[in-house]
Amino acid sequence: LHSRFRLCPLPSRTLRSHPPARCFQVSAAKKAKEAGDKTNQALSAEQQERIRKNKEAARQLLAERNVPPGFGDSWRRQLAGEFSKPYFVELMAFVAEERKRYTVYPPPEQVFTWTQMCDIWDVKVVILGQDPYHGPKQAHGLCFSVQKPVPPPPRLLRAPSSPALGRAGMDSPLSDPLGVLCLPGVLLLNAVLTVRAHQATSHKERGWEQFTDAVVSWLNKNLHGLVFMLWGAYAQRKGSSIDR
């Protein structure tokens, strides 16, 4: 049979190859941006402004929740933006933990006494110190100051007087540095606002410096005729950015 019939090979079929489908790869970020652009186009200017105000109110509410106890109202309104920043949140957690383990001065309700003495807009003189006194019943939230009947520490008695008080509109230059602390409009601000008992500078470089730098910066930018009294090398370094 094989010899009589010869098998003819079938013609091979030519298979058409279809071009590969085009792949469109769009990143998730691009999709989100396009969706956001379309949403913004659909919103009116009034709606976008309302959204912006709501976001700002939410940020303000978050900051208000982080306001420490005893913080003066006028100061809170101007400095509230600091309270929600990571460094300040970490700072408050650090101080709270320190109080659980050690004696810390001043007491929590007196850390911000300096914000209660006058309105932020009424400050005329700023006296900068380093950190609170670390002995019992000394520190109460004002630099270079102690409450009666606690005797003043030696470094307070050595504090110089300054004719700058007269330039700031105070009644008369004082030869007694203790008298400066009784004048209205005098801000007594330490660079570091808490300290462990009997351990000077124990809360240094924990975040207080950044916060008090923000205070000094606000005062320097917003108040006119302000006098800064920088007692000591540390205060002079901290006040190096003051433009007056």
Which tens digits make up the pLDDT trace of 21-33? 554 455 655 666 6
Burial (0-12, 13-18, 19+ Cβ within 10 Å), 132: buried
Per residue in 78-136, pLDDT tens? 999 999 999 999 999 999 999 999 999 999 999 999 999 999 999 999 999 999 999 99
Average pLDDT value for the chain: 79
Question: Is residue 122 among the annotated active site residues?
Answer: no
Which pLDDT score, from 0 to 100, does residue 140 have? 93
Which pLDDT score, from 0 to 100, does residue 43 have? 79
Which pLDDT score, from 0 to 100, does residue 18 have? 53
Which pLDDT score, from 0 to 100, does residue 7 have? 54
Asked if 148 and 156 count as a contact pair (C-beta separation under 8 A), the reply is no
| Least confidently predicted of 101-105, 160-164, 183-187 | 160-164
125-129 sheet: strands from edge to edge: 186-190, 125-129, 227-230
Over 50: is that where the pLDDT of 173 sits?
Answer: no
Over 50: is that where the pLDDT of 176 sits?
Answer: no
Give the residue with greater pLDDT, 65 vs 206. 206
**98 Cβ neighbours under 8 A, 6+ residues apart:** 104, 194, 196, 203
Over 50: is that where the pLDDT of 174 sits?
Answer: no
Asked if 197 and 98 count as a contact pair (C-beta separation under 8 A), the reply is no
Give the residue with greater pLDDT, 15 vs 103. 103
CA distance 189 to 118: 13
Domain 59-241 has CATH 1.10.3720.10: no
- Spot the catalytic one: 37, 131, 171, 176: 131
Which pLDDT score, from 0 to 100, does residue 66 have? 76
Give the residue with greater pLDDT, 49 vs 190. 190
Which pLDDT score, from 0 to 100, does residue 11 have? 55
pTM: 0.69
- Of the candidates 131, 107, 99, 113, which has an alpha carbon nearest to the alpha carbon of residue 195? 131
Which pLDDT score, from 0 to 100, does residue 152 have? 75
Give the residue with greater pLDDT, 40 vs 199. 199
Which pLDDT score, from 0 to 100, does residue 124 have? 94
CA distance 20 to 49: 48
